[in-house]
A and B are shown apart, each in its own frame.
Chain A
Amino acid sequence: EVQLLESGGGLVQPGGSLRLSCAASGFHFSSFAMTWVRQAPGKGLEWVSAIMGSGGTKYYVESVKGRFTISRDNTKNTVHLQMNSLRADDTAVYYCAKDRIAVAGGGLDYWGQGTLVTVSS
């Protein structure tokens, strides 16, 4: 059974940092891209970042470029999202999701339950 378990969310002040983690199990982790998607309060889903199965290629939505870094450890079946210089508009539930294939854009077939990030003073 595929399972994705996010952790690391919480309350942080503007300008602060958080590191989200997603522990994956139930599939051959390194064979699939992994993606982070967020949903701000009262808003729709927003794709944030993706990393290929090999970890060699990474993609980001424009609004987080230079502030967020996605990474993965294929020996520990985990994917991380390092978030720096956080802003109030980064407040959202962050979902970790598994791509159907090794590259991004093929559909997200499994999702975690999400972790809430609140950026506020």
Chain B
Amino acid sequence: QSVLTQPPSASGTPGRRVTISCSGSNSNIGGNTVDWYQHLPGTAPKLLIYRNNQRPSGVPDRFSGSKSGTSASLAISGLQSEDEADFYCAAWDDNLNGVVFGGGTKLTVL
């Protein structure tokens, strides 16, 4: 059971918008920033969003992040077939003194 809770799956059709939620607590999301990763099995994970809503250089602005209280969300607009992957949220946890990941959300582009 992961400390951060994500839906196991999400889906959408090309061109549409999809959001992935991440729920935590005061010790992690509530008091620290959230990062989001995209992971294709067999490849290196990729940082999509850091500090709740910042995009690293090279990440399209179709990807956006937000945080409110003890929850965070990743939004993907203009869905493309290449977006199919597993998505993970992560945050520092003050009680555990380490980073905690969500269980991951598998995105399917229909």
Contacts and interface: CB of A to CB of B under 8 A. Distances in A.
* Contact-residue size bin, chain A (C-beta under 8 Å from the other chain): 20 to 34
A108 interface: yes
B100 A47 contact: yes
* Contact-residue size bin, chain B (C-beta under 8 Å from the other chain): 20 to 34
A45 interface: yes
Contact of A44 (B35, B50, B102): B102
Interface in A93-117: 95, 97, 100, 104-109, 111-114
A77 to B, nearest CB: 18
A105 B32 contact: yes
A97 B88 CA distance: 15
Contacts of B88: 44-45
Interface string B72-99: 0000000000000010101110001111
Contacts of A113: 43-44
Contacts of B90: 45, 47
- Grouping DSSP codes into helix (H, G, I), strand (E, B) and loop, the A interface class, with mixed when no group exceeds half, is strand
B2 interface: yes
A54 B81 CA distance: 42
A44 B44 contact: no
Interface stretch (A9-17, A24-32, A58-66, A81-89): A58-66
Contact of B50 (A37, A50, A61, A107): A107
Contacts of A107: 33, 35, 47, 50-51
Given A45-B104, A113-B43, 13 more contacts: A44-B86, A44-B103, A44-B104, A45-B45, A50-B98, A97-B45, A100-B47, A104-B92, A105-B92, A105-B99, A109-B47, A111-B44, A113-B44
